[in-house]
Structure 1
C-alpha cells in the first residue's frame, strides 16, 4: 500500500516536476508570447523603414553625379560625331580631287573618250542613260528569321526574306545580260564590290541596305529586260516569287541615274614615258 501511495503522490518525476514549475513561473512573471511577437514585428518594420530611408537618401545624393556623368557622355558623343562628320566631309573633298586628277591624267594619256569609258567601267564617275529598274522585296508575311538556312525550314516567315545570295544572283544575271553599270539602293557596284550578309541585313561594300532593294542597271533597256528574265538568274528570281512570295518587278526605263562609287581607289599605277624631241 505504501508503494501505491507513493506513486499516486509523485506521478511526475522530480526533474519533470521542476521543469514544469520553472516554465510556469516564467509564464507568469515574463512577458506574454503575443506581446513579444508584436514587438518583434514592430522592430522588423522599423528596421525595414530605416533601410529604405537610407537607400532613398543615398539615391538622392548620387542622382546629381549620375546626371552629370550622363550629360558628359552625351557631350562627348556629340563632339566625336561632329569630328567624324568633319573628317568624312574632308575625305569626300579629297576623293573628288583625286577623281578629277585621275580623269585629267586619263584624258592626257588616251583622250576624253577613253577616260569616260574607264570611268564608267570602273564606277569612278556617275552615269545615266536607258536601262531597267528591278525591285526585289521580302514577302508580305516575312519577319526576322531564325537560325540556319531559311530555305530549308518550314517557317514561311523565314523563307520569304531576300538573302544576300539572292541579290548576288540578280546582279550577276544583269551583268551577263549586258548591263554596263549597276547600283543597289543608290550604292554603285564595281568589279571589287561584295554583297554579303550580317545577320538579317544585306551589306553592299560593308554598307547595310534595307528592303525593298531597288536595282538600277544602265544598258539597252528592252534587251536587258528580256535577257535577264530569260536567264537562269531571272528564272531563279521568278521561282522565289512563285514558291516563297518574294515580291519582284522589272520595268524598262528611258533614263536611270547611277552615282559614282565612293570607294574607288588606284591599286596599281605605271608612269608613262614621254618621248622627247631631238
Structure 2
C-alpha cells in the first residue's frame, strides 16, 4: 500500500511537469501566426544575407578603372586597379550598411576571395578584366556619402591614380550564390 502511494505521488509529480510543459507550448502557440510570420521573415532575411536567395533593391554602383599611364612614371603598377582597391570599396560599402555586394555581377560573401593577377582580378576563382564594377544594395545616399568622405576611400583611390565612377540610385539585381555541394 505504501509503495502504491509513493508511485502515485511520483506519477502526480510527473503529470504536473508534463502539464507545465504543455502549458508552455500552448503559450508559445498562442502568440499565433504573428510569431511564425516573424520567424519566416527572419529566415528569409538571413537566406538573402548569406546569398542563398537572389536579391534586388536600390543601391550604388562603383566602377574602378585603371588610370592613364604616364610614361615618366617609374612603376606602371601605380596606375592599375589592384585587389586592395576593390577590398577598400567593398569594406566601406559593408561598413555603410550594404546588404549585398557583387563584383562584376558575382555575389560576394564572407568566404569570398579576391586576388590580383596582373591586369585582372580573380574573384572566387573567376577572372575579370578591368573595369571592375562593384554593386551594393542598400541606402544609396548613405553608401555614396561614405564613399565621398573627405580623406576616405574615394580620395585614396584617386590618389592612387584610379578612375572612380559612382552611379547612385540604381535598381540592382543579384543572383543567388552557387551552393558548394
What is the TM-score normalised by the length of structure 1? 0.47
Counterpart residue number, 2:168: 252
> For 1:193, what is the secondary structure of its paired residue?
coil
Contact 1:123 1:264 in 2 (8 A): no
Q: 1:109 to 1:264 in 2, by over 3 A?
A: farther
Runs of at least 4 residues of structure 1 off by over 4 A? 108-111
Q: How far off its partner does 1:224 sit? A: 1.5
2:93: which partner in 1?
174
Q: 1:240 aligns with which of 157, 160, 165?
A: 157
Long gaps (5+) in structure 1? 1-107, 144-153, 266-278
| Aligned residues: CA RMSD | 2.6
How many residues align? The count is 145
Q: For each residue in 1:100-124, what CA deviation from the matched residue of structure 2 results, as whole angstroms up to 9, or x when unmatched?
A: xxxxxxxx99743123211111011
CA distance in 1, matches of 2:140, 2:58: 6
- 1:195 aligned to which of 80, 90, 114: 114
Whether the aligned pair in 2 keeps the contact of 1:142 and 1:161 (CA below 8 Å) is: no
Pick the aligned partner of 2:69 from 132, 141, 145.
141
Runs of 5+ consecutive residues of structure 2 not aligned to the other structure? 1-35
Match of 1:112 in 2: 40
Given that residues 120 and 130 in structure 2 are in contact (C-alpha distance below 8 angstroms), is that contact kept between their aligned partners in structure 1?
Answer: no
Mapped to 2, the partners of 1:259 and 1:155 lie a distance apart of: 42
Deviation of residue 192 (structure 1)?
1.0
The CA deviation at 1:252 is 1.2
Checking the alignment, whether the CA contact within 8 Å between 1:133 and 1:250 is kept in structure 2 is yes
Which one has the largest radius of gyration? 1
TM-score by length of 2: 0.70
**Aligned residue in 2 for 1:261:** 177
Greater RCO (CA < 8 Å, at least 6 residues apart): 2
Question: How far apart are 1:251 and its partner, in Å?
Answer: 2.0
Residues 191, 142 of structure 1: alpha-carbon distance in 2 compared, 3 angstrom cutoff: farther
Q: 1:158 maps to what in 2?
A: 77
SS of residue paired to 1:129: strand
